[in-house]
Structure 1
Amino acid sequence: MARRTKILATVGPSSDDPRVLAEMIEAGVDVFRIGLAHGSLSDAVQRYRMIREVAKASGKSIGILADLPGPKVRIGQLPDGGVSLQVGATIELVPGKETSTATSLGVDYLDLLRDVQPGDSVALGDGTVRLTICSVDAESAKAEVASGGAIQGRPGLHIPSDRLGLTTPTAEDLYKLDAFVEEGVDMIALSFVRSAHDVRRVG
Structure 2
Amino acid sequence: MRLLKIIATVGPSNYDYNVIRKMIATGTDAFRINMSHGDQKQWEDFINLINKASNELGITVTKIADLEGPRVRLGNFDPIKIQQGQNLVLKYENSKVDGIPIDNRVFFSSIEQGDKVLIDDGKVSVEIETVEKDSAEVRVIEGDVLEPRKGVVIAGKEFDMPPITDKDVNDMKFIASKDFDYVMVSFVRNSKHIDIIRETLKKQGADNIGLLAKIETPSGVKNIDEISESADGIVVARGDLGMHFPLEVLPMIQKRIIESARKKLKPVILATEIFMSMVERPVPSRGEISDVYKALEEGVDGFLVTSETSIGKYPVQVIIWLSRVIQEAQKHIIPNKIDISDISEAKIAKGVVDLANDIGAEILSYATTIDMSRLISGFRPSKPIYTGAPSESIAKKLNIFWGVKPIIVGLSNNEEEGLNLTENYLKKEGIIGTGDTVIEAARSIDQNSFIVKVKQLL
TM-score (norm 1): 0.82
CA distance in 1, matches of 2:42, 2:76: 26
Identify the residue that residue 54 of structure 1 maps to in structure 2. Answer: 53
Matched, 1:129 2:117: no
| Aligned partner (choices 145, 159, 165) of residue 153 of structure 2 | 159
Quick check: which has more Rg, 1 or 2? Answer: 2
Given that 1:77 and 1:99 are in contact with CA atoms closer than 8 Å, whether structure 2 keeps it comes out as no
Identify the residue that residue 65 of structure 2 maps to in structure 1. Answer: 66
CA distance in 1, matches of 2:97, 2:23: 42
88-97 or 59-68, which deviates more: 88-97
1:59 CA drift (Å): 1.5
Identity of aligned residues (%): 28
TM-score (norm 2): 0.39
1:122 CA drift (Å): 1.8
CA distance in 1, matches of 2:189, 2:71: 15
CA distance in 1, matches of 2:76, 2:86: 20
1:91 CA drift (Å): 2.5
| Matched ranges for 1:5-154 at <5 A | 5-78=4-77, 82-95=79-92, 96-97=94-95, 104-125=99-120, 127-138=122-133, 140-152=135-147, 154=148
CA distance in 1, matches of 2:82, 2:100: 11
Given that 1:131 and 1:147 are in contact with CA atoms closer than 8 Å, whether structure 2 keeps it comes out as yes
Q: Secondary structure at the match of 1:130?
A: strand
Identify the residue that residue 198 of structure 1 maps to in structure 2. Answer: 193
Given that 1:97 and 1:107 are in contact with CA atoms closer than 8 Å, whether structure 2 keeps it comes out as no
Identify the residue that residue 170 of structure 2 maps to in structure 1. Answer: 175
CA distance in 2, matches of 1:192, 1:62: 26
In structure 2, relative to structure 1, the CA distance for the partners of 1:83 and 1:182 (3 Å cut) is closer
In structure 2, relative to structure 1, the CA distance for the partners of 1:191 and 1:99 (3 Å cut) is farther
1:72 CA drift (Å): 4.1
Q: Secondary structure at the match of 1:159?
A: strand
In structure 2, relative to structure 1, the CA distance for the partners of 1:149 and 1:98 (3 Å cut) is farther
Post-superposition Cα deviations, 1:43-81, rounded to whole Å, max 9, x if no partner, equal 212321331222122112111111112234344544x5x
Amino acid at match of 1:149: D
Q: What is the total number of aligned residue pairs between the two structures?
A: 196
Post-superposition Cα deviations, 1:118-174, rounded to whole Å, max 9, x if no partner, equal 34322234531111223434453332211012224x343412385213323212112
In structure 2, relative to structure 1, the CA distance for the partners of 1:155 and 1:125 (3 Å cut) is farther
Given that 2:105 and 2:134 are in contact with CA atoms closer than 8 Å, whether structure 1 keeps it comes out as no
Given that 1:74 and 1:157 are in contact with CA atoms closer than 8 Å, whether structure 2 keeps it comes out as yes
1:108 CA drift (Å): 2.8
Given that 1:118 and 1:135 are in contact with CA atoms closer than 8 Å, whether structure 2 keeps it comes out as yes
Please list every run of 5 or more consecutive structure 1 residues that lacks an aligned counterpart in the other structure.
none
CA distance in 2, matches of 1:75, 1:138: 17
CA distance in 2, matches of 1:157, 1:11: 19
Amino acid at match of 1:47: F
3-12 or 125-134, which deviates more: 125-134
Identify the residue that residue 188 of structure 1 maps to in structure 2. Answer: 183
Amino acid at match of 1:32: F
Identify the residue that residue 274 of structure 2 maps to in structure 1. Answer: none
1:99 CA drift (Å): 7.0
Which structure features the higher share of helix residues? 2
In structure 2, relative to structure 1, the CA distance for the partners of 1:54 and 1:77 (3 Å cut) is closer
Q: Secondary structure at the match of 2:197?
A: coil
CA distance in 1, matches of 2:130, 2:97: 21
In structure 2, relative to structure 1, the CA distance for the partners of 1:164 and 1:129 (3 Å cut) is same
Higher relative contact order (CA 8 A, sep 6+): 1
